Amino acid sequence: MKPHKRRQETEAVRGGTDLCKKNGPLSTPIYQTSTFEVTDSDEQVRATNTDRFYTRYGNPTHTVAESSVAELEGADGALLFASGMSAITTSILALLKSGDHIVAQRDIYGGTTKFFSQWLPKLGIETTLVDTTEYDQHERAIRTNTRLLYLESPTNPTLRVVDLRKTAALAKRCNLITLIDSTFATPINQRPLEFGIDLVMHSGTKYFGGHSDLICGIVAGRRDLIQKIHETRTTLGGTMDPHAAWLLLRGMKTLAVRVQRQNENALRVAQFLAQHSKVRRVHYPFVEGHPQRALAMEQMAGGGGVLSFEVDGSGEDARHLAESLHLFTLAPSVGGVDSLVTIPVLTSHAMISAEQRQKMGVTEQLIRLSVGIESAEDLIADLEQGLAMVNPARQHAEVG
Ligand SMILES: Cc1ncc(COP(=O)(O)O)c(C=O)c1O
């Protein structure tokens, strides 16, 4: 963990750039090139290990964005990828080999679960899934060949919160690498490396980009691990396109202000839903009644912009409600400035079995909201009119 030179709001805007540089463009240039010219063979050899050799290895536009992420996370280094899934798969393939074992939380992003359960076994890598907040289960699942403790916090889509200090300490004791998917939190709300986690990953598609217009993955952390992952990225080829990296840099400049606004809006929406008679359960880390609220408030600066809730009705009612909203656009993904709504069993968790979904608490009635930066009053009014169309009614929502 590297100490922060400046506050997060400053690093989000100015990170990665050389503040002493004069007479250059203020906006980072896009090196929209696949290759770099050299003057002679000696220079060619020297260029091989730099970001001016061949873009699959690196690119100066990527370097600025990667330094900026590293500063935000307090990491030795960071890497960009073509997608969040590319960041996850490349990192795991870089760090593990056949015969190794992973302990991972049960309720994580569906694409990651699919990689663990359907792809890694083909390579001789097994995964044991454990309940997110049952730490004795994490410990009991560790074997002599376990190499990685894989975490996600808050989780998608049920917003459970993992104790970062506890899991990092367990991993240190058992000599495991820790990798956390911190997409829903962003470094504005949570900096896992400060708690002793080795690697933090993001689907940069979400909050980092912030405008639902790019696909990107990010991994940041310890130098030796980042070096291995870099080598593997070069081989597997999941490098980001330079133009998309530039869009990412532009998005990052407003990361702090967007996330602060989304924290405020999402909390208000969660509070509204929690008291609504047609809502059975609300999942949001900072709302009263969430089972890990105290922990969330200790390790996070804000609850984030994603929440989910169960309609007091059928799966059909949940679908009708999602379709009846005007300001929450019916689309998968999270983290953009526009509010979105989705039904996880149809999107983010469609690719995993019904049995696994049940264990994760992902029901047909569950609706996930990505709260944007619009007016909270307008968003709540939209939900109010949508809920008015749902028929069954009970007394009070459960929160958790
Ligand atoms: C928590 C989380 N992690 C990882 C991913 C994968 O990211 P990407 O879609 O950028 O590959 C997603 C995508 O929705 C996600 O929600």
Helices (H), 210-353: 223-236, 242-252, 255-274, 293-299, 315-324
**Angle, alpha carbons 362-345-125 (nearest 5°):** 75
Q: Which residues of the chain have pLDDT under 50?
A: 394-395
Question: How many Å lie between the centroid of ligand 1 and the Cα of residue 223?
Answer: 24
For ligand 1, say whether the CB of 85 is within 6 Å of any of its atoms: yes
Question: How many Å lie between the centroid of ligand 1 and the Cα of residue 203?
Answer: 5
pLDDT of the residue at 54 = 97
Which of 335, 331, 328 minimizes the C-alpha distance to 376? 328
Give the number of the atom of ligand 1 that is nearest the alpha carbon of residue 112: 4
pLDDT of the residue at 392 = 60
For ligand 1, say whether the CB of 111 is within 6 Å of any of its atoms: yes
Residue-range domains of the chain with CATH: 8-252 (3.40.640.10), 256-399 (3.90.1150.10)
**In this structure, which residue's CA is closest to atom 9 in ligand 1?**
84
Which of 14, 78, 340 minimizes the C-alpha distance to 220? 78
3 residue type, one letter: P
For ligand 1, say whether the CB of 217 is within 6 Å of any of its atoms: yes
**In this structure, which residue's CA is closest to atom 15 in ligand 1?**
109
**In this structure, which residue's CA is closest to atom 12 in ligand 1?**
203
Question: How many Å lie between the centroid of ligand 1 and the Cα of residue 180?
Answer: 12
Query: Is 181 an active-site residue?
Result: yes
Query: Is 338 an active-site residue?
Result: no
For ligand 1, say whether the CB of 31 is within 6 Å of any of its atoms: no
Query: Is 2 an active-site residue?
Result: no
Q: Which of 107, 163, 181, 198 is catalytic?
A: 181
**In this structure, which residue's CA is closest to atom 10 in ligand 1?**
84
**In this structure, which residue's CA is closest to atom 7 in ligand 1?**
84
Spell out the residues 6+ positions from residue 101 whose beta carbon is closer than 8 angstroms to its own.
125, 126, 127, 128, 143, 145, 146, 147
**In this structure, which residue's CA is closest to atom 14 in ligand 1?**
333
Spell out the residues 6+ positions from residue 277 whose beta carbon is closer than 8 angstroms to its own.
312, 393, 394, 395, 396, 397
Strand partners, 234: none
- Residue of 155, 160, 203 best suited for mutating to test ligand 1, as the one with most atoms within 8 Å of CB: 203
Question: How many Å lie between the centroid of ligand 1 and the Cα of residue 21?
Answer: 35
Query: Is 57 an active-site residue?
Result: no
